Amino acid sequence: MSTPEHSPLGKATAYADRYDPSLLFPIPRAVKRAEIGVIEPLPFHGVDVWNAYELSWLDPRGKPQVALAEFRVPADSPNIIESKSFKLYLNGFSQERIDTPALTGTLLRDLAVAAGAPVAVALTPPSAAAYAIADLPGELLDELPLAIDDYGPPKAHYLSADHGAAPVEETLLSHLLRSNCPVTGQPDWGSVQIAYRGAPIDRAGLLRYLVSFRTHNEFHEQCVERIFVDLMARCAPQRLSVYARYTRRGGLDINPFRSTDPQAVPGNPRSARQ
């Protein structure tokens, strides 16, 4: 079964060191989307950008190889891939003799099967020059002088916009996003960037809303979609993009991006916390 409680999360695990695509555990997106009223056609476009920092394999002569991997799972794929199963799958290459093109082809095939749609794969040598730290652009909300005592569940009523004011185009940023794994309860820490055009969004209410995820149990992708849907419903921007950059766990970070713009393609900036 493809529900979180049947995944490897929170269970004692034997770490395989040989290739096994059956380790990948897909979870349908539709169930959680139905909770927030998202049905086909989707009200957003986007991608989940994954970074893997612990990928290693053996070349055909047996010498270990390492790389950093970027995976881009389209938001319209039927499934997310449970992150621990992804880690176990990647670790399975550690004692496999395979050349780099064959490895890339194998990843492309297996991840497409698990996600139910093509997944982009890019392998990069572990060069510091290729992974410079960069901040997400945006005006930081975190210094607002607020007293806050609501840490969940998320409350969309905090969100509002001044529809009597002239439209603005701005990008807002907070590093205070925190949610929890719905299976293990482990905390997920992230930064979230909200870029929009429309009636000015009340910043204090937005920050209160983001903090109200603090004890909420949901996967990264589901939190970002909830933020997107709530902003659209409560603030009605003309354009909206929501991008969350989460800290890594188990050698993986997951960075969901959702946007009203079908042409929008997020970068992959590595933040100070990543």
Q: Please state, in angstroms and rounded to a whole number, the distance separating the CA atoms of residues 190 and 29.
A: 21
Among this protein's residues, is 181 annotated catalytic? yes
The structure tokens listed for 29 are 């997106």
Among this protein's residues, is 235 annotated catalytic? no
Q: Residue 147: how many CB atoms within 10 A of its CB?
A: 5
Residue 251: closest CA among 98, 120, 67, 17: 67
Q: Which residue among the candidates 48, 110, 181, 235 is catalytic per the annotation?
A: 181
φ, ψ of residue 266 to 5 degrees: the values are -70, 145
81 marked as binding residue:
yes
155 marked as binding residue:
no
221 marked as binding residue:
yes
Burial 32-44 (b: 16+ CB within 10 A, else e): bbeebebeeeebb
Q: Which residue among the candidates 188, 230, 235, 253 is catalytic per the annotation?
A: 188
185 marked as binding residue:
no
Q: Please state, in angstroms and rounded to a whole number, the distance separating the CA atoms of residues 241 and 44.
A: 9
| Planar angle of CA 260, 262, 263, nearest 5 degrees | 120
Q: Please state, in angstroms and rounded to a whole number, the distance separating the CA atoms of residues 134 and 241.
A: 19
82 marked as binding residue:
yes
190 marked as binding residue:
no
208 marked as binding residue:
no
Instruction: Give 158's DSSP letter.
Output: G
Q: Kindly report the length of the chain.
A: 274
Secondary structure class of 192 (helix, strand, coil)? strand
Burial 45-75 (b: 16+ CB within 10 A, else e): bbbbbbbbbebebbeeeeeebebbbebbbeb
Q: Please state, in angstroms and rounded to a whole number, the distance separating the CA atoms of residues 69 and 124.
A: 6
94 marked as binding residue:
no
Which of the residues are catalytic? 181, 188
Binding residues for substrate: 81-83, 220-221
Which parts are annotated binding residues for NADPH?
A: 83-84, 249-250
Binding-site entries? 81-84, 220-221, 249-250
